[in-house]
Structure 1
Amino acid sequence: MKATIWHNPKCGTSRKTLAILENLSKVDVTVVEYLKDPPTRDKLAQLYADARITPQQGLRLRGTDAEERGLPDADAETVLRAMVADPILIERPLVETEKGVALCRPQDEVLKLL
């Protein structure tokens, strides 16, 4: 099985999720450090749609200025544009497999995709 993780190596939950993926021999993992290589607006919209969450639900509040910018109450397009322009606003880790997409908080959420 193939899995792609949008990963931030400074995030403990993201590191734990990646460790779960790497410790399973049946998983071929692609790691995307989204702060260095952010997803496009369309890819981000697709990930959230496939995860059945809104961009607002995928918005990182802690350690960002999202609330000051009014993003939690903004429309989906405004949130997506902000995330593409400033990827620190993307909550992590997002994992995509052939079974679907999930925001893996807590990290055990990844097991539902395997």
Structure 2
Amino acid sequence: MTVQIYHNPRCSKSRQALQLLQEKGIEPQVTLYLETPPDAATLTDLIGKLGLASARELMRTKESAYKDGGLKDVADEGALIQAMVEHPILIERPIVVANGKARLGRPPEAVLEIV
């Protein structure tokens, strides 16, 4: 089984989710998404696997890139996804993908539902 985590080592929730996986004997493929942002197709796929109704649900709305970009008033899903591609700090974290499913690690224990 391949397990992937979109990880930000500076985020406590992301570190906790990674630690939980490792404690279960799982060594996930770690994607440092701030350094290697997912493309639009990958984000669209993740939104579907997460069961989210909108790209906005995957966005960190308190980030300055969200406010400065005027994204609060943007309704176009493609534009929201493109904003996350261009500013990966906007992507909520951590995201774990396994077994054709994805979970957002908020709380971190939620990622264990799919592994």
TM-score (norm 1): 0.91
Residue 37 of structure 2 corresponds to residue 38 of structure 1: yes
Offset at residue 99 of structure 1 (A): 4.9
Q: Report how far residue 108 of structure 1 moved.
A: 1.1
Corresponding residue SS for 1:83: helix
Displacement of 1:97 in angstroms is: 0.2
- Kindly indicate whether residue 7 of structure 2 is the aligned counterpart of residue 7 of structure 1: yes
In 1, distance between residues paired with 2:91 and 2:21?
20
Of the structure 1 ranges 12-21 and 61-70, higher mean CA displacement relative to structure 2 is found in 61-70
The alpha carbon displacement at 1:102 in A equals 1.3
CA distance change for structure 1 residues 24 and 36 in 2, over 3 Å: closer, same or farther? same
Instruction: Name the structure 1 match of 2:65.
Output: 65
RMSD: 1.4
Q: What is the correspondence of 1:54-93 to structure 2 with a 5 Å cutoff?
A: 54-74=54-74, 75-93=76-94
Divergent runs of 4+, >6 A: none
Shift of 1:111: 1.4
Q: Give the residue type in structure 2 aligned to 1:102.
A: R
Aligned-pair identity (%): 34
Aligned pairs, how many? 113
Q: Which protein has the bigger helix share?
A: 2
Comparing 60-69 and 96-105, the one that deviates more = 60-69
- Match of 1:57, SS state, is helix
Distance 2:13 2:72 in 1: 22
Which residue is 1:101 aligned to?
Answer: 102
TM-score normalised by the chain length of structure 2: 0.90
Q: For structure 1, which runs of at least 5 residues remain unmatched after alignment?
A: none
AA aligned to 1:48 is I
1:47 aligns with 46
The residue matched to 2:19 in structure 1 has which SS? helix
CA deviation profile, 1:51-105 (whole Å, cap 9, x unmatched):
1112100001233331342324422111100110111111111110005111111
